[in-house]
């Protein structure tokens, strides 16, 4: 039996970003939730940010395909150079993760300034755990953005003009 290594694999299935259902690549609509895959091209991150700020996340979908209002280069540069502060999360509208990364960065600055006093009085090193977690999350984000696996929230328009 001879294997043909040069033949590219054809993607037969795709995953619905709303419900996670496994659909055939040729399908135009998810049979589970009814999402039209062609509407993902019209989705915007700007509307998703507004909905997330107003806690109206019913029609917000997270997708790996970047919408037209999110620049890949800008996202990559923010992740590499300001990722430890959470700037890339603020850019795409993941505000809770951005706040957590910012708090860990402030804690890193605090630990750097008061390092001698903390070690002298506390003699425990588990207080540095949030810094390690933030650094690990930053490195994972760099890899995800670089390989285009970073999920971005988008809001999808319906036929009647409202965002879905």
**Domain regions of the chain by residue span:** 9-42, 43-155
How many Å apart are CA 146 and CA 77, to the nearest integer? 10
Instruction: Determine contact, residues 137/103, Cβ cutoff 8 Å.
Output: no
Q: What pLDDT is stored for residue 164 in this prediction?
A: 46
Q: What pLDDT is stored for residue 158 in this prediction?
A: 53
Q: How many CB atoms sit inside 10 A of residue 4's CB?
A: 5
Q: What pLDDT is stored for residue 137 in this prediction?
A: 93
Ramachandran region of residue 41, left (φ > 0), alpha (ψ -120 to 50) or beta?
Answer: alpha
Instruction: Determine contact, residues 141/83, Cβ cutoff 8 Å.
Output: yes
Q: What pLDDT is stored for residue 116 in this prediction?
A: 62
| Residue closest to 29 by CA, chosen among 44, 14, 11, 43 | 14
Q: What pLDDT is stored for residue 123 in this prediction?
A: 59
User: Taking the complete model, does pTM exceed 0.85, yes or no?
Assistant: no
Instruction: Determine contact, residues 94/83, Cβ cutoff 8 Å.
Output: no
Q: What pLDDT is stored for residue 75 in this prediction?
A: 96
Render each residue's pLDDT in the chain as its tens digit; 164 residues. 566 666 666 678 888 888 888 888 888 888 888 888 888 888 888 989 999 998 888 888 898 888 989 999 999 999 999 999 999 999 999 999 999 999 999 988 887 787 766 666 655 667 778 888 899 999 999 999 999 999 999 997 655 555 44
Instruction: Determine contact, residues 89/95, Cβ cutoff 8 Å.
Output: yes
Q: What pLDDT is stored for residue 100 in this prediction?
A: 94
Q: For 57, what's the count of Cα atoms within 13 Å in the CB-facing half-sphere?
A: 11
Strands (E) in 4-163, as ranges, are 13-15, 22-24, 60-63, 152-155
């Amino acid at each position: 039996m001879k294997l043909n290594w040069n033949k590219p694999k054809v993607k037969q299935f795709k995953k619905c970003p709303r419900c996670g259902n496994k659909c055939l690549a040729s399908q135009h609509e998810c049979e589970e939730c009814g999402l039209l895959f062609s509407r993902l091209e019209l989705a915007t991150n700007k509307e998703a940010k507004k909905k997330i700020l107003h806690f109206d996340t019913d029609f917000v979908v997270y997708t790996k395909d970047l919408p037209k209002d999110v620049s890949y280069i800008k996202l990559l540069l923010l992740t590499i150079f300001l990722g430890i502060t959470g700037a890339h999360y603020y850019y795409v509208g993941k505000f809770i993760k951005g706040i957590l990364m910012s708090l860990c960065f402030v804690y890193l600055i605090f630990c750097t300034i008061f390092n001698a006093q903390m070690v002298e009085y506390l003699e425990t090193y588990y207080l540095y755990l949030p810094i390690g977690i933030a650094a690990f999350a930053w490195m994972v984000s760099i890899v995800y953005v670089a390989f285009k696996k970073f999920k971005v929230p988008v809001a999808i328009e319906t036929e009647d003009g409202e965002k879905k």
